[in-house]
Structure 1
Amino acid sequence: MGSVKEAYLESEEDRQENLADALGISWDELSQLDYTLTENISNEGLLYGYVITFSSNCNAEILSRIAGISKTRTISLSPWIFERSYEDQYALGAITQNIDHRESFSNEMIASTRILNLKIEDYSIRQLLLRQTFISIIGALETFLSDTFISKTLSSKHYLQQFVRTNPEFKQQKISISEIYDVSEKIKERAKTIMVNTIYHKLPTIREMYAGTFSIDFPDISNLQKYILIRHDLVHRNGKTTDGRLVNINDKLIEELRTNAVTFVEELTNKLGRNFDDDLPF
């Protein structure tokens, strides 16, 4: 049930782990911190690096373990950490080639149902199958969210402008009048980089992106949040919670996840459909 985009999303999560390593903290600790990342660009458009600024409400104990962090809770990073790679370019191409993202998601849900109907007597193998199916459903949801957002944004000048206006990465950057033309020529490429570097199972962030870019009421995410946390335990802790308990994955839980994911996708598709019928901002 894997796809190019699902594999890509996993690689994006690896990038977040690399960021955590660069900061000298764990993936779990990084996920607890609220921060913004901005580009340090010269007047000639050269990327010198990135600056991470952590909010004042971040866990002070975690921040104290980040070597080199300033009193203003900022730290500079090398320019190659978040460069868009060949794999990024390949993923963008795969997204634009897939027009019906909802159908792709539906096919993944059908495939997950068929897999669960397989008769497997060995308990440990069955458990492994259940875990992988659970993870793949979350992956399919991420794929739908990313592919839909990127393809819709890049296909409309209006929505690309909305994304640039509302995304924190752009809102925090200051440029001089003399830089306007140079920067304007790079905006679309920088927007692509931001979009493909986004982790699409961070639903509060994705909610703000969709709402700001498409001016829609994003569906309620509360039902899905608990499944995202379970997926984190399955992927990053080998199926155990922070206190060492084994996560119990069964057919009922997977069916609940699938139902919630399908309902969520249908609701979001309907909301987007009202906006995209004529590709107009009204």
Structure 2
Amino acid sequence: MSSIKEYMFDIRYEEMRQWICEELNDDEADEDNPDWAELEEEWHNMQASNEEPAEFFDWYKRHAHSDIHQTFHLQISKLKDLLHIALPDFNEETFYKMTYAYAVTLMESFLADTVRSLIITDEKYFLNAINKVDGIKACKFTISQIAKNKDGAKGFAISELSKLMYHNIEKVMAVLKAILGRDMNTDISKVCAITSLRHDIVHRDGKKTDGQLIMVDKEIAEETILHIEEFVNSIAEQIYAPKNA
């Protein structure tokens, strides 16, 4: 890495470190803090939300909510196909942990794209978001700031929602309820357990906080994918059903 790149990396890292320390209210916090990894991921999500390409809104305008659901099923089907590949015994544990984590990633992507699509393509849902979603309704922007944003107030709303940790299922469900303006009858207990385990796999290489090793085999990977599919289908059905009624 060149000296310039090293310098820029150091600056970005220091900005992230200061933000995390402020969130933790601890100036001496470091990577050993149990909440550090999740806040670091939130920081990177925030940075990504500020670097969206100009075509970002256009993509959601061209694709219906059902397209997002179909894309999820296409990708999850590919993942299920991979489970039938014959693997050397010494590769199985790593492969199934990766499969488990990626299944959660696909669910997160579906949820994030669904939230954005609802706000971008339906004025009613956009108004619900800015009036009912806690993370948005408290934001303060000047008319000048909104005018300078190519996508106006919707751009700010999407930027704020891009900071949401989409594996925090309870928060995501609260946001969807607020945007849709109605309750959602979906059991989240299984996917909450799945996302909790995914955190251990991604951030601690499959170990719990007490050091206990988590075993993920083919059966567990298949069950995980099934529960994620059931959850996503339930969300999709409740979003589309009123429009198709």
Q: TM-score range by the shorter chain?
A: 0.7 to 0.9
Superposed CA RMSD in Å reads 3.0
Q: Secondary structure at the match of 2:187?
A: coil
**Unpaired segments of 5 or more residues in structure 2?**
1-14, 24-28, 40-45
Identity among equivalent pairs (%)? 18
* Equivalent position of 1:146 in the other structure: 112
Q: Deviations over 1:45-95 (max 9, x none)?
A: xxxxxxxxxxxxxxxxxxxxxxxxxxxxxxxxxxxx758433x33793596
Take 2:17 and 2:240, find their aligned partners in 1: how far apart are those partners?
35
Contact 2:92–2:217 (CA<8 Å) still a contact in 1?
no
* Equivalent position of 2:190 in the other structure: 223
* Equivalent position of 1:111 in the other structure: 78
Runs of 4+ residues deviating >6 angstroms: 15-18
* Equivalent position of 1:102 in the other structure: 69
Q: Secondary structure at the match of 2:35?
A: helix
Of 205-214 and 268-277, deviating more is: 268-277
CA 1:146–1:124 in 2, change beyond 3 Å: closer, same or farther? same
Contact 1:105–1:144 (CA<8 Å) still a contact in 2?
yes
Take 1:168 and 1:227, find their aligned partners in 2: how far apart are those partners?
26
Q: Work out whether 1:263 is the aligned partner of 2:227.
A: no
If the length of structure 1 is used for normalisation, what is the TM-score? 0.65
Take 1:159 and 1:103, find their aligned partners in 2: how far apart are those partners?
21
Indicate the structure with greater strand content: 1
* Equivalent position of 2:50 in the other structure: 85
Using CA pairs below 8 Å that are at least 6 residues apart, which structure has the higher relative contact order? 2
Structure 1 residue 169: Cα displacement: 2.7
Q: Secondary structure at the match of 1:217?
A: coil
Contact 2:130–2:157 (CA<8 Å) still a contact in 1?
yes
Indicate the structure with greater helix content: 2
Amino acid at match of 2:70: E
State which of 212, 236, 239 in structure 2 corresponds to 1:272. 239
Take 1:252 and 1:101, find their aligned partners in 2: how far apart are those partners?
27
**Unpaired segments of 5 or more residues in structure 1?**
1-14, 34-80
Structure 1 residue 244: Cα displacement: 0.7
If the length of structure 2 is used for normalisation, what is the TM-score? 0.74
Q: Deviations over 1:125-177 (max 9, x none)?
A: 111111111011001111111111111211011111100001213333468xx
Structure 1 residue 257: Cα displacement: 1.0
* Equivalent position of 1:198 in the other structure: 164
Contact 2:104–2:195 (CA<8 Å) still a contact in 1?
yes
Residue correspondences, number: 211
Q: Deviations over 1:232-272 (max 9, x none)?
A: 01100011110111110011111211111111111111110
State which of 20, 29, 34 in structure 2 corresponds to 1:28. 34
Take 2:36 and 2:203, find their aligned partners in 1: how far apart are those partners?
13
Take 1:90 and 1:236, find their aligned partners in 2: how far apart are those partners?
32
